[in-house]
Amino acid sequence: GGGGEKDLEDSLVESKMESVVMEYSDMLTRTLEQQRHYFEDRMTAMQMQHDRERAEAAQQHGSKAQQAAAEHQAAVASLKAHIDSKDKEAAECRGLLEERGGKVSRLEAEVEEMRVAKRADDKKISLLTQKLKTAWEEKEFLQQLNGQVTANQEALKEKLKAAGTESDKDAKIRDLEEQVRDLMVFLEARDKIEASEEADDLR
């Protein structure tokens, strides 16, 4: 009898264990299934988010590309306008340069004419300067000659004056000599008369 109860208990225990194992297995299966669905949903959500982000990125990239293209076109247009403006300025500068070149050519011609005229004036001035120098030299020569003539005239006047004085002296000397001769003749005559009277007295 005891062996039968033991078998029954063993059967009950085994049955309970099988029941527990099955329940645990079902629970584990449900848990795994739930986890699988959870992760599948997560993966689906992540995939959808990824696709959405890619679509948004593509859209944004397209917008950025369009914006970049528009900005590039605007920059090209601005650069072209800038180049056109510089070309216009360059054309104006060339026009001004040609105009200035014409003025420079005219000024150079005028300067050359002035140089030619200046050389002619310099030649005239040189000739006039030479004539003026010659005139000054002639004037100085005439002044010296006039001084010499004046000095000669003064010397001649002095000589004439001296000559007049000498003539007066000569006349006085001649007069005195004549007076002396007259006196000598008188004295000789007197001596002769006295000698004659003495001779008469001796007789």
pLDDT digits (tens, 9 = 90+) for 81-110: 888 888 787 778 687 777 877 777 787 788
Band (pLDDT 50/70/90 cuts) for residue 201 is low
Domain assignment present for residue 128? The answer is: no
Give the span between the Cα atoms of 107 and 97, in whole angstroms: 15
Q: What is the pLDDT of residue 163?
A: 64
| Claim to verify: residue 187 and residue 96 sit in the same structural domain | no
102-142 pLDDT per residue, tens: 777 787 788 788 888 888 888 888 999 898 898 898 888 88
Domain assignment present for residue 23? The answer is: yes
| Claim to verify: residue 18 and residue 112 sit in the same structural domain | yes
Domain assignment present for residue 148? The answer is: no
Domain assignment present for residue 194? The answer is: yes
The chain-wide mean pLDDT, for the chain, equals: 81
Write down which residue in 79, 99, 117 finishes a domain: 117
Domain assignment present for residue 127? The answer is: no
Does pTM top 0.85 for this prediction? Answer: no
Q: What is the pLDDT of residue 3?
A: 63
Domain boundaries, position 188: 167-202
Whose tokens are 């020569």? That residue is: 141
